[in-house]
Amino acid sequence: MLTAEARVETERPSRYLVQLCKHFDNKGRHLGHRPRGHHGDGDAAALREMRAAAARAEVEWSETEGTVVLPWGRCALRAHPGALAVRVEAADGENLRRLQELVGGHVERFGRRERLKVEWRGGQVSTALPGSPARGAASTAEGVVSPTGGGAPPCA
């Protein structure tokens, strides 16, 4: 598995975790309400693919942890005091990039008032078994995200 991680500095990590999980739990109902440009100039095939993937989403969350499993891979979220840790895992580079764009784009949009900017680190092979959280895998680079895109210590 390939993994990438980011850390979002925010005073409301739980709020963003819950909002993101609820959004993906809608099973794609929201996808038909986006402007055409969101899907690449109204590409009908891309829209169908997104709806099909969203319909198969498996989402679980609490106030402090969340998991989103899509056909392309998995996203794990954890709320820490002052930060949201985000980890995406996929079988290949293309699907990892897809998850990074999808999850990162949503976090930035939801956190636009705080000017959150997601900067991923990783794309490395995880030592964890498929389906496991893979927290703290030695070969995974950690990322830092803050409203200014600056550095901060990684989530523990």
Which residues lie across from 61 on neighbouring strands?
A: 66
Domain residue limits at 92: 2-19+60-125
Would you say residue 110 lies in a domain? yes
The answer to whether residue 98 sits within a structural domain is: yes
Q: How many C-beta atoms surround the C-beta of residue 138 within 10 A?
A: 7
148 belongs to a structural domain: no
pLDDT at residue number 51: 72
CATH code of residue 90: 3.30.310.50
- Considering the domain boundaries, does residue 105 fall inside one? yes
pLDDT category of residue 92 using cuts at 50, 70 and 90? very high
Higher-confidence position of 23 and 136? 23
Asked if the model's pLDDT at residue 135 lies above 70, the reply is no
User: pLDDT for 20-71, tens place per residue?
Assistant: 999 988 865 555 444 444 445 557 787 777 777 777 889 999 999 999 999 9
66 within some domain: yes
Average pLDDT over residues 118-145: 50
The pLDDT of residue 45 is 80
Q: Hey, what are 66's tokens? A: 């969340």
| Structural contact between residues 84 and 78, judged by C-beta atoms closer than 8 angstroms | yes
Q: Is residue 39 part of a domain?
A: no
CB 2 within 8 A of CB 8: no
Overall domain count for the chain: 1
Task: For residue 14, give the nearest of 150, 124, 129, 111 by alpha carbon.
Answer: 111
- Strand order through the sheet with 73-80: 58-61, 65-70, 73-80, 83-90, 2-9, 121-125
Q: Hey, how many other C-beta atoms are within 10 angstroms of the C-beta on 90?
A: 22
Let me know if residue 146 belongs to a domain.
no
Give the H/E segment covering residue 44. Answer: helix 44-55
Q: Is residue 92 within 8 Å of 107, Cβ to Cβ?
A: no
For residues 61 and 52, give the distance between their C-alpha atoms in angstroms, rounded to a whole number: 22
Residue 110 has pLDDT above 90, yes or no: yes
Could you identify the residue written with the tokens 């600056």?
Answer: 150
| 11 occurs within a structural domain | yes
Q: Show the tokens assigned to 90.
A: 């996929």
Could you tell me what percentage of the chain is helix, strand and coil, using 3-state DSSP and rounding each to the nearest 5? 35, 25, 40
Residue 131 predicted with pLDDT over 50: no
Averaged pLDDT of the chain:
76
